[in-house]
A and B are shown apart, each in its own frame.
Chain A
Amino acid sequence: MDLIILSLPLFMKGLHNTLLMSLGATVIATVLGVVFALIQIFGNIFFRALVEIFLYLIRGIPLLVLLFTMYYALLYMGFRIDPLVGGTVVIGIYFAAFMAEVFRGGLLSVARGQWEAGYALGLRTKGVVLNIITYQALKVIGAPYVNTVIMVVKGTSLVAVIGITELTFVGRQIVERTLEPFLIFGVVAGIYVVICYSLSLLARYLERKIGYVN
């Protein structure tokens, strides 16, 4: 029991890193996701093909494999980049693929007539998207976006296997010392559940909001 209390600061560090990575990866995934989605809808054939191939490949590979690849790449380069940062970037790129799908779905869900009315008035594509489409698309994007963020948070747990001090890794370390897997992993799971469940409540709230508009 004392061992557990002694482990508390380590625990906090793990939690801190988990949250940091989740935030960082979410930002990266969102930005890249928007770029990919826009290319898929408006880009020329060449870039569209590149993006679609890239997304297809990413969606077929486990995140863990990508993380291992990054880890060994860093190893070879002599760890000039902090694995924490590397892990965050890889997770961000991985989930950008999911984000792109969400954003694309949202943009395309807006009725064609809205696009046409905008063009008919003489607006260019940028004007139509910014003034007319985005607001309407956001209503559809809200809930799936948050669900993807939940996936990001859960994804950060995988960097535990490449030795990064986040929540799951810390959990494993403490269990090795205290031999209380149920208690420790239970608590770890509990923390993830608190974070992710709260996010899912947000997602459910956002989903209800679209129903209101319809």
Chain B
Amino acid sequence: MSIEGQSLQEIEIDRISKWFGNNKVLDEVSLSVKKGEALAVIGPSGSGKTTLLRCVNFLEDFQQGTIKVSDEYIGYLQDRDGTGSRQRQPESDIALMRTKVGMVFQSFNLFPHMTVLRNITLAPTRILKQSTQQANETALQLLERVGLKDKADVLPASLSGGQQQRVAVARALAMKPKAMLFDEVTSALDPELVSEVLDVIRELIGEGMTMMIVTHEMSFARAFSDRVVFMADGKMLEIDTPVNIFENPQNPRLVSFLERFRKSYKI
């Protein structure tokens, strides 16, 4: 469904709004993520940043707006010229689109009844119809990349949080996604385990993976992301390079947010 001259944008979020009852959790958010760009999303709790992320792979529905990944709509289709109302995609198409976007969750969500290897190969074999041998090979390569090749045949319960999260990254990468979504992936980890996960993400950035990272790790965002977006109350309030966001914040809410962080986190 792509037009001639493919866009440079991997993810295009166009004026999406979401209500939970009377509560507007996303307010006309528009955002584009370029191919190869690492976009960090920061903001206070309840700002809608996680909800926004989950809209990109349609784990959350949204009442207004559209989202495109790799030039294809996910969730809702819209007429080519943007007129007319949007149409909900059939479930099978939504599932297909989700294979193009990998997600890593705050609580890892590894499948406890499967080995690490099986966790990674389940989707490639079932959805991409890869052969077991092919899937296993890819999985082992990915495990090697995240430094866990020797844990291929253990159950997740015997791994530390940091190890489980690294497996979760490998599981998402096994589907060869066009973009990765990281939802506060280090927030549930003990401090000493955080860096092993951030190292993996940093390597991915170095390899040019497009990604949106919702995070509280300000120093990481500052050092390694290409752009940072600040959200509060469901709105996108400021978006700029890391240097500008952290050294030269314009929006007053951003200023006070960073201030609270400086007190405890020393950026």
Contacts and interface: CB of A to CB of B under 8 A. Distances in A.
A122 B175 CA distance: 9
**A116, A122, A135, most chain B CB atoms within 10 A:** A122
Contacts of A80: none
Nearest to A136: B113
Interface string A86-128: 0000000000000000000000000101101101111111010
B6 to A, nearest CB: 22
B96 A122 contact: yes
B119 to A, nearest CB: 9
Contacts of A123: 95, 123, 126-127
B92 interface: yes
B98 A121 contact: yes
B126 A127 contact: yes
B78 to A, nearest CB: 22
A142 to B, nearest CB: 14
B105 A116 contact: yes
A155 to B, nearest CB: 34
B112 interface: yes
A113 B111 CA distance: 10
A132 interface: yes
A131 interface: yes
A124 B123 contact: no
B70 interface: no
**B108, B113, B171, most chain A CB atoms within 10 A:** B113
B126 A117 contact: no
B99 A121 contact: yes
B103 interface: yes
B88 to A, nearest CB: 15
A49 B91 CA distance: 23
A119 B54 CA distance: 11
A133 to B, nearest CB: 10
A124 B96 CA distance: 9
Interface string B77-99: 00000000000000110011111
B243 interface: no
Contact of A122 (B98, B109, B111, B113): B98
Given A113-B105, A131-B122, A131-B126, A120 B111 contact: no
Contact of A120 (B57, B108, B112): B57
B127 A120 contact: no
A121 B109 contact: no
B159 interface: no
B59 interface: yes
A116 B59 contact: yes
B59 A120 contact: yes
Contact of A117 (B105, B127, B175): B105
Interface string B157-198: 000000000000001100100000000000000000000000
B123 A121 contact: yes
Contacts of A116: 59, 105, 109
B98 to A, nearest CB: 4
A39 B202 CA distance: 45
A117 B111 contact: yes
Given A111-B109, A113-B109, A120-B172, 14 more contacts: A113-B105, A114-B109, A117-B109, A117-B110, A119-B59, A120-B103, A121-B99, A121-B122, A121-B172, A122-B96, A122-B123, A123-B126, A124-B92, A135-B113
27 contacts: A114-B109, A114-B111, A117-B109, A117-B110, A117-B111, A119-B59, A119-B95, A120-B57, A120-B98, A120-B103, A120-B105, A121-B99, A121-B122, A121-B123, A122-B97, A122-B123, A122-B127, A123-B95, A123-B123, A123-B127, A124-B95, A127-B127, A131-B111, A131-B122, A132-B111, A136-B112, A213-B112
Interface of B: 57, 59, 91-92, 95-99, 101-103, 105, 107-113, 122-123, 126-127, 171-172, 175
8 interchain residue pairs of minimum CB distance: A122-B99, A117-B109, A113-B109, A121-B123, A120-B103, A122-B98, A135-B113, A124-B95
